[in-house]
Structure 1
Amino acid sequence: MKNIKVVQYKRIWFSISLAIIIAGLIFTFINGGLNFGIDFTGGTTIQAHIGKDFDISNVREIISKYDSEAVITYAGNEKEDVIIRTKMELDDASRKEILDSFVTEFNITTSNINFESIGPAIGDELKRQAILSLVLANIGMLIYITFRFEWRFGLASVIALIHDVVIMLILYGVMKIPVNSSFIAAILTIVGYSINNSIVIFDRIRENMRNVKKIDKVQLVDDSINQTLTRSINTSLTTLLAIVALYILGVPAIKDFALPLIVGIVAGTYSSIFISGPLWIILSTKFKTQSAH
């Protein structure tokens, strides 16, 4: 593979990311912001055991009288259950009407249907936990990389991680994917995946620094990235194959989890190759203090 001049064209790589982020934020704002699910806003979850094959459109017809935007997914090993998630707090009269409709439509008993209310207080607590977990994850990454390498490596990595998280947030906003508890898992998964790629490149930079007397940082970073490029691409491709298969074959709830992971892996691979290394050079140039290492 021909060597890629990553550092030389850093303005192009930064501009691509900036253009995607600005355009995505504009579209997200036009779309009305993030589509917070009931895990964050509160609402009602309905789980019904149908006990046979059924058409989800029939369930949609029943629920659309109360909430046309309710999230309806199959559940169970044989897809004989259905889970309905609505942001509305259904009163007793509405619940009785839904029970009667399910009994009439699918010939089941009322004991096969369960309602669960999620209050807004729980949603607020989940928001705080999501933000706290993300902040703690980034602080932990910064401390680890600073201890293992130096603080400039750590800061470059965290900026690259913020880039990946923002890209995923934009996807949720543009595609109106419900932001539920799986959102936290998706974000933390990508943070861990992206930092792993960056650490591999930074480790190669550190090794190469030991083998040269006079350091040309531009050449050093370019050589290190190109030496690890095949590994980074192959790792990302094999991971993407598995997640794409989940997206194609999975139920809607799995698709809503898999799609952000696909975009996050692409963004994480891009940032680890084209963002983190050039950022380290910029920080090293701005802060020329000799590293303890």
Structure 2
Amino acid sequence: MRLLRIVPDNTKFRIVHWRRLAYPFSAAYSVLVLVLFLTVGLNFGIDFRGGTLMEMQAKSGKPDIAQVRQTANSFGFGEVEVQEFGNAGDLSMRFALQPGGEVAQQAVVTKARAAFADAYEFRRVETVGPRVSGELVQAGTLGVVLAIIGVLVYLWFRFEMQLAIGAIVGTMHDIVLTMGFFLITQLEFNLTSIAAILTIVGYSLNETVVVFDRTRELLRRYKTMPIPELLDLSVNSTLSRTAITSTTTILALIALVFFGGTAIEGFALVMLFGVMVCTYSAMFVSTPVLLYLDVRAGRLDQSEELAEAKARV
């Protein structure tokens, strides 16, 4: 029985050659991310910013966004964000955090229900106070930082120094590009977004480890092969596995985007972008970095020489 081969075994794509396009693209994207972060900023959700979020659906016809916004602004609770989302007839209102504690937040909900209950069905109402939102910001930030530090420590001990540097560059690159997705699309950044970023870090680590394990194996086998050819061989030899893993993951995420509902749509969109970025990064960013490092030096060759010396004795 012939096995399925998505990518032929004898592929010889010049992966490393494309760094001349990949590096300028990633550098320009990273600069754009920095500029947007300093000027526009993230669209923090109610988890981090505090306030009241309401999601409603029109009982009949299409919602009048302008009328809803005008009515909500007349409540006297500050400027209200009103926007459509999901299916036709769905809209969300976000009120800023009100002074006065929980009583003030509840007054917002009461007034909104009284004004819109006849024409709209309330699907979701969330209220987050300043103390809770502050604690969530601290906990989310700490969780991401500790996870990244743990991954970097693992990579440092998992590989020789040169390979570890390449893996660290790839992981940080994927995080920056993913944050750029939030900044460009202004997708709401909330606790679900933190979960998506941590998942992408794990996926990035998985992709990099697979390619670099093969690179280390080929370094031991072909000690005289030019480094560009060896790196191309390491990527091409794992290309079939990468294609299968990425394709199946992307298909599952596309299904979640279209059929998973609004609750996980944001998570699925970020993951879909992250999987594509991690696949691109493992081949065109972190692997070509090894061209600029002396990957034949260090513990790898020393361990080989030590083993050969013991065998001769």
**Matching of residues 118-133 of structure 1 within 5 Å:** 118-133=128-143
- Is the counterpart of residue 44 in structure 1 residue 52 in structure 2? yes
Deviation at 1:173, TM superposition (A): 1.0
Deviation at 1:203, TM superposition (A): 0.9
> Which residue does the alignment assign to 1:15?
24
Does the 8 Å CA contact 2:81/2:93 hold for their aligned counterparts?
Answer: no
Deviation at 1:136, TM superposition (A): 1.9
Task: Determine which of 217, 228, 240 is the counterpart of 2:238.
Answer: 228
- Is the counterpart of residue 57 in structure 1 residue 73 in structure 2? no
Could you tell me the percent identity over the aligned residues? Answer: 33
> Which residue does the alignment assign to 1:166?
176
TM-score under structure 1 length normalisation: 0.80
In 1, Cα distance between the equivalents of 2:190 and 2:255? 22
> Which residue does the alignment assign to 2:12?
3
> Which residue does the alignment assign to 1:77?
none
Task: Determine which of 92, 97, 111 is the counterpart of 1:97.
Answer: 111
1:190-224: CA deviations, max 9, x gaps?
11111101110011112212222435322221110
- Is the counterpart of residue 152 in structure 1 residue 166 in structure 2? no
Does the 8 Å CA contact 2:51/2:105 hold for their aligned counterparts?
Answer: no
Deviation at 1:175, TM superposition (A): 0.9
Instruction: Say which is worse superposed, 171-180 or 212-221, in terms of deviation.
Output: 212-221
- Is the counterpart of residue 271 in structure 1 residue 287 in structure 2? no
> Which residue does the alignment assign to 2:292?
282
TM-score under structure 2 length normalisation: 0.75
In 2, Cα distance between the equivalents of 1:243 and 1:162? 23
- Is the counterpart of residue 34 in structure 1 residue 28 in structure 2? no
In 1, Cα distance between the equivalents of 2:262 and 2:126? 21
> Which residue does the alignment assign to 1:78?
none
1:284 aligns to what SS in structure 2?
Answer: coil
Deviation at 1:146, TM superposition (A): 2.7
In 2, Cα distance between the equivalents of 1:222 and 1:84? 51
1:57 aligns to what SS in structure 2?
Answer: coil
* Structure with max Cα Rg: 2
RMSD between aligned alpha carbons?
3.5
In 1, Cα distance between the equivalents of 2:69 and 2:285? 46
2:63 aligns to what SS in structure 1?
Answer: helix
> Which residue does the alignment assign to 1:186?
196
Deviation at 1:12, TM superposition (A): 2.3
Which AA in structure 2 matches 1:233? A
Deviation at 1:28, TM superposition (A): 5.7
2:242 aligns to what SS in structure 1?
Answer: helix
Does the 8 Å CA contact 2:55/2:91 hold for their aligned counterparts?
Answer: yes
Deviation at 1:84, TM superposition (A): 5.9
Deviation at 1:237, TM superposition (A): 1.2
Deviation at 1:256, TM superposition (A): 1.8
Deviation at 1:53, TM superposition (A): 6.9
In 2, Cα distance between the equivalents of 1:247 and 1:7? 33
In 2, Cα distance between the equivalents of 1:136 and 1:239? 26
